[in-house]
């Protein structure tokens, strides 16, 4: 697929998926395989923890009263000595899922980016590309770690703000709830953007993680306007798709009087899978748009030289003829 200046990067992203449908299949494969593995590990971890708990008859009696104070005492007695182990297990699970996601994202993103860059680049450049697994893995691992740090900072700010509000410290509560959560969210979004864009330059330019991150910052500063336009366009499509599928998910509830609840849950789960597939399609199209825009940024089209109508056209120079001696 050759790059065409007649099309915008927005159109080029969808055109790339239309030209190469296997890209969408590859994207769904690595994303959904990781999702199934993550959900499976989380369910197994929760099941093992719940199976390790011991509930006495006294705890059953306290739980049956449904009184808040008695319920609190019952839960405290049930979790006594097991909460620390549960937290350690969840920490190990989160660290393992981060590594698993980094491996899966590295393999999937390297494959899709390599094909997209080859579609929009010249043959000479596509033959010199390398996979750059190590650099992309480092970027994905840093991305996952930073996302975890940002979420932790938001949770701690929320907890601190709630405690301050309960202690009637309105100014401090407002600081943690507004400034703390806002700064953590903003920094998380910005750095997540650069970490997500940097693998493109690892594949395209064959550079390491640090250099790719620097090139993504430079690219974003040069093409800020066009990137903002692409973001608004894809965000609008994503919002429209989410709204449509939200109504589709709720539609089976009207059949509650005619269809068993189990089948309604199955139908709603299938509709949710359709939504996730569409969201992955939009994300891959946006990635293709970034690849097309990066190609335009590195090979800008030369503007034709303007000739004034009152300016006479000069004839080409003629080399003087020298007679041989």
- How many beta carbons lie within 10 A of that of residue 147, not counting itself? 16
- pLDDT over 70 (residue 32): yes
pLDDT in tens, 99-113: 999 999 999 999 899
Specify the pTM.
0.79
Residue 171: predicted pLDDT: 83
Helix (H, G, I), strand (E, B) or coil at 72: helix
List C-alpha distances in Å: 193 to 30, 90, 251, 287: 20, 27, 35, 12
Residue 25 burial class via C-beta count within 10 angstroms: exposed 0-12, middle 13-18, buried 19 and up: exposed
pLDDT in tens, 39-90: 998 898 888 877 777 777 776 776 677 677 777 777 777 777 677 777 888 8
pLDDT in tens, 128-154: 567 788 999 999 999 999 999 988 988
CB within 8 A of 197, min separation 6: which ones? 216, 219, 220, 290
Give CA–CA dist 299/240, Å, rounded: 34
Helix (H, G, I), strand (E, B) or coil at 25: helix
What average pLDDT is seen over the chain?
83
């Amino acid at each position: 697929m050759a790059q065409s200046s007649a099309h915008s990067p927005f159109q080029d992203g969808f055109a790339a998926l239309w030209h190469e449908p296997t890209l969408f299949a590859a994207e769904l494969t690595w994303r959904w395989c990781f999702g199934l593995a993550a959900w499976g590990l989380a369910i197994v971890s929760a099941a093992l923890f719940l199976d390790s708990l011991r509930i006495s008859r006294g705890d059953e009696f306290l739980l049956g009263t449904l009184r808040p104070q008695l319920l609190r005492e019952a839960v405290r007695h049930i979790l006594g000595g097991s909460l620390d182990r549960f937290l350690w297990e969840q920490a190990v699970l989160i660290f393992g899922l981060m590594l698993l996601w980094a491996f899966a994202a590295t393999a999937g993103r390297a494959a899709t980016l390599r094909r997209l860059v080859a579609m929009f680049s010249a043959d000479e450049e596509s033959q010199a590309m390398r996979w750059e697994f190590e650099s992309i893995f480092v970027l994905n691992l840093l991305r996952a770690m930073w996302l975890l740090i940002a979420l932790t900072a938001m949770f701690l700010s929320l907890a601190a703000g709630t405690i301050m509000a309960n202690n009637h410290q309105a100014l401090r509560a407002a600081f943690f709830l507004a400034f703390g959560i806002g700064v953590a969210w903003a920094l998380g979004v910005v750095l997540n953007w650069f970490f997500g864009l940097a693998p493109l330059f690892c594949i395209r330019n064959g550079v390491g993680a640090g250099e790719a991150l620097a090139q993504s910052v430079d690219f974003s500063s040069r093409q800020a306007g066009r990137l903002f336009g692409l973001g608004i366009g894809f965000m609008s499509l994503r919002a429209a798709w989410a709204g449509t599928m939200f109504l589709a998910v709720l539609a089976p509830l009207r059949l509650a009087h005619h269809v068993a609840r189990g089948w309604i849950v199955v139908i709603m789960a299938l509709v949710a899978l359709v939504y996730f597939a569409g969201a992955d399609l939009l994300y891959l199209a946006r990635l293709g748009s970034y690849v097309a825009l990066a190609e335009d940024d590195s090979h800008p089209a030369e503007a034709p030289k303007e000739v004034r109508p009152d300016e006479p056209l000069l004839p080409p120079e003629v080399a003087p003829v020298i007679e041989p001696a």
